[in-house]
Amino acid sequence: MKIPVKYTVRNIGTRRLTTALTVSGIALVVFVFSAVLMMAYGLQKALVSTGSDNNVIVLRKSANAEITSIISRDQGNIIMSMAQVARAADGKPLASGEIVVIINLHYANTEGWGNLTVRGVSPEAMTIRPQVKLREGRMFRWGSREIIAGKATTKRWQNVSVGDRVKFGGDQWTIVGVFESEGNGFESEFWGDVDQLGQAFQRPVYSTVTLRLDRPEALGEFTSAFEKDNRLQELEAKREKQFYEEQSEAMSMFIRILGIAVTVIFSLGAIIGAMITMYAAVANRTVEIGTLRALGFQRRSILGAFLVESLLLALVGGGAGLLLASFLQFFSVSMMNFSSFSELAFSFSLSPSIIVWSLAFSVIMGFVGGFLPAIRAARMNILAALRAS
């Protein structure tokens, strides 16, 4: 004989205080667990979306980030002249030789200073990255000490608005526009003329060269020709999206490991809370358990009933914690990018896999917390249980 589910559900509401405390504890743990995964996923999503499958980025083989890469102007010209590079209507290659440097700026709302990325770009940069669009002001004039600021920088840093002047590289730079880029990593940067920034920072070389292929499937042809050129042997080419995926791996893994370690510690308290609640349920229903056994219900039915009750409590708590965590999607955070040593702004992001993992984690807590009490209930002696009245 199997105990009906409605019997289990009815018993959940009989101990409102302990049930509420257990559900709250599980909800808190699942909230932290979900928040960690959402942060790691949001970071990864922001960086990966920075790159495009249609673009190829070239940098020095030994460099693990743009700021540590060096490409000579001559090498840049060789790369841009390759047959597989797409051309504009006027015949110019759709490629951008770029330099990437880090500057120090004052935070807007807190004391202290932080690092911000400044990217020097070529005129074709906006063409090969159509997701970058001006939302305020105008484009900087080539050959001038003007820059445009990513949307995220206007909230994070002091005096970063259209018309403001920022001092770096030994000169004053005027912010003439603000751009957005679908929430990716570019929004945490300043952009300016590659030649002007190169002069200011005394960098007569490129950090990277980003280019658009004449067709997406031409990557194999391009890399084959690239590798055969002896002048480019110390450089490597890869899809831009692949490059930013690699950049995101170390940071997102660090967040996951640290966050999950903290969550596991918190989960011990939630498991103990669930265990106390279920032991209390067994103690309060001793006579009821004895009656059920006397009526012919088997031990496994009693075991299953208490386990289902514990799992239902955990699912309610997990659902509540996940619901609370979903509101984090309305917030943005900023943290240090380990590869570039500059700050990157991104939003928490929820995915179907995070929902599944969070609910599975709550179920595991419910199972671990309810298993021993359920065993105790199933092994209870019929006569001893009936005499407890």
Contacts of range 375-380, beta carbons closer than 8 Å, 24 or more positions apart: 375/303, 376/279, 376/282, 377/282, 377/285, 377/289, 377/302, 377/303, 377/305, 377/306, 378/299, 378/300, 378/302, 378/303, 378/306, 379/299, 380/282, 380/286, 380/289, 380/290, 380/293, 380/302
Phi-psi region of 182 (alpha: psi -120 to 50; beta: other; left: phi over 0): left
Neighbours of 257 (CB within 10 A): 12
162 and 176 in contact (C-beta within 8 Å)?
yes
Q: pLDDT by residue (tens digit) across 298-309?
A: 777 777 777 777
Q: What is the pLDDT of residues 11-43, one digit of tens each?
A: 666 666 767 777 888 888 888 889 888 888 888
Q: What does the domain layout of the chain look like in residue ranges?
A: 5-48+247-387, 63-233
Please determine, for residue 119, whether its predicted confidence score (pLDDT) is greater than 90. yes
Q: Tell me the pLDDT tens digit for each residue of 67-115.
A: 889 999 999 999 999 999 999 888 899 999 999 999 888 887 777 888 8
For residue 253, what is the DSSP state? H
Give, in order, the Cα–Cα distances in Å from 162 to each of 49, 136, 190, 282: 26, 8, 12, 67
**Which tens digit of pLDDT belongs to each residue from 57-72?**
999 998 888 888 999 9
pLDDT of residue 303: 72
Q: How confident is the model at residue 146 (pLDDT cuts 50, 70, 90)?
A: very high
Residue 267 pLDDT class (50, 70, 90 cuts): confident
Rounded Cα distance, 28 and 362, in Å: 10
Other beta carbons within 10 angstroms of residue 368's beta carbon come to: 18
The whole model's pTM is what?
0.78
Mean pLDDT, residues 146-157 taken together: 90
Please tell me the distance from the alpha carbon of residue 388 to that of residue 368, in angstroms, as a whole number.
Answer: 27
Percentage with pLDDT > 70 across the chain: 86
What SS3 state is found at 101?
strand
Check: CB of residue 38 under 8 Å from CB of residue 341. Answer: no
Is the pLDDT confidence value at 210 over 90?
yes
* pLDDT tens for each residue of 330-375: 887 777 666 666 677 788 889 999 999 999 988 888 888 887 777 7
What residue has token string 């595991």?
Answer: 364
